[in-house]
Amino acid sequence: MKLIKSLLAVALLGLLALLPLSLSQRLGHRLGNRYWRKGDAAKMTRQTRRNVNACFPEWSESEREALARASLQQTGCSLCEMGMAWLWPAERTLKKVRQVHNEALLAEAIDAGKGVILIAPHLGNWEVLNLYLSAHYPFTAMYKPPQMKLMDDLIKRMRARLGTRMAPADTRGVRMVMKALRRGEMVGILPDQEPDRSGGIHVPFFGVQALTMKLLPQLAAQTGAVVVCGYAERLPDAQGFDLHFVAADEQINSRDLEAAAAAMNRSVETCVRALPEQYQWEYRRFSTRPEGAPRFYS
């Protein structure tokens, strides 16, 4: 059954890769609208609303509803752009990058010689960001291998086609990341997924206690690496993508783990507030609650 699912997923990616970016994004908007029309019957819609309502209590109800709907549309775009991001020739995809903002921040960090940790939240199209970094820098990316081996092989091959080294989210991957930082290179880590309880600490994210990874702040403290946030903004009307690089909160290198983890979350918040509709709000970011706290999702 896993093999059949993998083959179907690869076939779907192949079909999506045949589409121009304009049609991929149009299809993505329709997919997001489909989830929205299902309303409370759609799990993704319920979770998006729950997260948006909790993270933006100062917004009006109509503003939060508009953000939730736009977020589902943008998530649909991210899904439908996977054919472009993974199966198009790299040069063709990179031609969709229109502007790169504040890249001097990366150059300065590389010149410092201590290595660079690139925080890449689930914002915009992170696959385009990965491809750009692979084309311009020695780059190691941590990732969580999927259960389907065929998909894992495809992900590793396509993400690594410009030289990216893929580090699994395990002990071996951590060793790969440490070696890359000691060489003064760049590593990329997704900071906004729930870790195992043993690998996380509860700190605020948009004012809500969220189980947050220890690994990234520990790496920053141990290595003295410069931490930079990055994301690829999806431009309207299929114009392409703008890349943005933002300095992380200065407390992220603190040896106080709680302070550093909170600084990491604040760094992600800064990026998300600049482009809230393109964040992956449907993810169950607040599933694991502090001891004694009520369930967050129904």
pLDDT above 70 (res 116): yes
Distances (CA, A) of 98 to 26, 128, 251, 270: 20, 12, 32, 22
- For the chain, how many structural domains are there in total? 1
Tens digit of pLDDT for each residue in 175-199?
A: 999 999 999 999 999 999 999 999 9
Tens digit of pLDDT for each residue in 129-180?
A: 999 999 999 999 887 766 666 666 766 677 667 778 888 888 888 899 999 9
Q: How confident is the model at residue 3 (pLDDT cuts 50, 70, 90)?
A: low
Tens digit of pLDDT for each residue in 38-81?
A: 765 588 899 999 999 999 999 999 999 999 999 999 999 999 99
Cα separation, 2 vs 7, whole angstroms: 9
**Phi/psi of residue 226, each to 5°?**
-80, 130
Q: Where are the alpha helices (DSSP H) in 137-170?
A: 149-159
Is residue 206 a part of any domain in this protein?
A: yes
Is residue 129 a part of any domain in this protein?
A: yes
Is residue 263 a part of any domain in this protein?
A: yes
Which pair of tokens denotes residue 102? 């504040």
Cα separation, 79 vs 60, whole angstroms: 29
- Tokens 């990216």 correspond to 164
Stated pTM of the model: 0.92
Is residue 297 a part of any domain in this protein?
A: no
**Phi/psi of residue 241, each to 5°?**
-140, 140
Q: Out of 173-177, 211-215, 288-292, pick the least confident.
A: 173-177
Cα separation, 228 vs 102, whole angstroms: 11
Q: How confident is the model at residue 10 (pLDDT cuts 50, 70, 90)?
A: confident
Query: What stretches of the chain adopt beta strand conformation (E)?
Result: 97-101, 116-119, 139-143, 165-168, 186-189, 200-205, 208-213, 226-234, 241-247
The parent domain of residue 181 ranges over 2-278
Provide the pLDDT for residue 2.
60
Cα separation, 298 vs 155, whole angstroms: 33
Is residue 284 a part of any domain in this protein?
A: no
First to last CA, the chain: 30
Cα separation, 59 vs 46, whole angstroms: 18
By the 10 Å C-beta count (0-12 exposed, 13-18 middle, 19+ buried), 250 is classed as: exposed
